[in-house]
Structure 1
Amino acid sequence: MTDIFLADAHLGRPDDQNYQYLMTFLGNLKGNIRTLFLLGDIFEFWGNFKRPPHAYQPLVTLLEELAELGAQIVWVEGNHDFHLQRYFGRHKNFRILPDGGMVELGDTSVYVAHGDLVDLDNHSYLRLRRILRSPLIALFSGFLPLALLDYIAARMKHESKKRRRSYDRQAELLPLLNKHATRHLDAGAAAVITGHYHTPLCRQLDGGTMIALGDWIHDFSYAEHHDGVFTLKNFPG
């Protein structure tokens, strides 16, 4: 069976190209995958919503269809989509991992994470992360008007673009990812897969595979697992 990993689509409106590409890609997976891993920031902003915002409904419906056909949907919360449990937690075949963790794919252990905890020296971001995931934000985000949600999403998109510029160079990013991956490979993972940095990378390290997923904005990249082998691919192939 095949497992698919993707992250960082930052979906806004259904007529955006990346939204349409992702809908096509996922639609082609119906009945053909065991597990779909969403490693955060799939939407530009998702809070503690009781129901999906109108713009997100097409993708939510498609994910629900995949789950109904038997696929497991494992969703790791990112820094743009969090408090997912309220809506998706009540759905069959959905599993929410707020901070990621070790998962089993048959006899293969994989550590999955969004990736925003890779750089533990980024104290300003870590403070923001704690605020966004606080019970107070969870309480209020589910009741915000749509106009305010659109504004928050636009601001977060602007800020995330600024943050990504600091990790544009692989020479700076690789040591962080290698250190993070080595820790979990030593703990028994065969692969460590993250998102967040919008830079597609696949490296063989001592003990296993390290993959950074890239994004669904420019790269349209994803990872595939089949029979113990992990590969990084692009859509369309």
Structure 2
Amino acid sequence: MAIDISHLNKRYGDKTVVDDVSLSIPKGKVTSFIGPNGAGKSTVLGMMSRLLSADSGKILLDGADISHIHSREIARKLAILKQSNHVGLRLTVEDLVAFGRFPYSQGILNAEDKRFIDEAIAYMDLGELRTRYLNELSGGQRQRAFIAMVLAQDTEYILLDEPLNNLDMKHSAQIMRVLHQLCRDKGKTVVVVIHDINFASVYSDHIFAMQQGRLVFSGTSEQLMSSEQLEAIFGFHMPVHQIDEHRLGLYFIA
């Protein structure tokens, strides 16, 4: 297993936001976290990346306790894109993507760094926008630029918190296809917090569901996608239909 979590807990004041969570994330796969708002999904992701400290519990990255790994080594093994990204500096798309190479370049880009930057920009279909400034882009275009920055970091583990925010249907599908391709072709391990149950169902190899800070489901899309199972997680009836090889939740007509 790539990432092993045991008995993880996090509180803010009197509120428990992650409650005794234990799980293992498979290597080289797309793993999704789903669940209602406030379920603790993003908090677990933050602790996995060491952006947040756990009150108790343990997180192992390739068998090593993440709390004992040097920050620079983590940045070469694991990249995270948080849900909210605010850049006050006047940066072009290319400048932003270049930040992904900092753990290697320390700000001095070589030919290999530039190759990763070019590949990431191409992956995210940003070639025509690479010299544009971030404040000139739409929300969806900026989101794709941030994802390109994470790809340029070229880590084995990629953690994404709501990566489809501000994206239209075309680019949401593009992002999920790219993430699946990174696992299949490059052996990356991708962990995604996602609110759209159908994207999770179609593109995930494994799915965890959380509710009120606790892990309430662990399994495949096939095991998850039933009206009864989804109602237990989200609290309302959701018809599930089979379309080709996929089972999709029709939440918009629930």
Same fold (TM over 0.5): no
TM-score, normalised to structure 2's length? 0.29
Greater helix share, 1 or 2? 2
Larger-gyration structure (1/2): 2
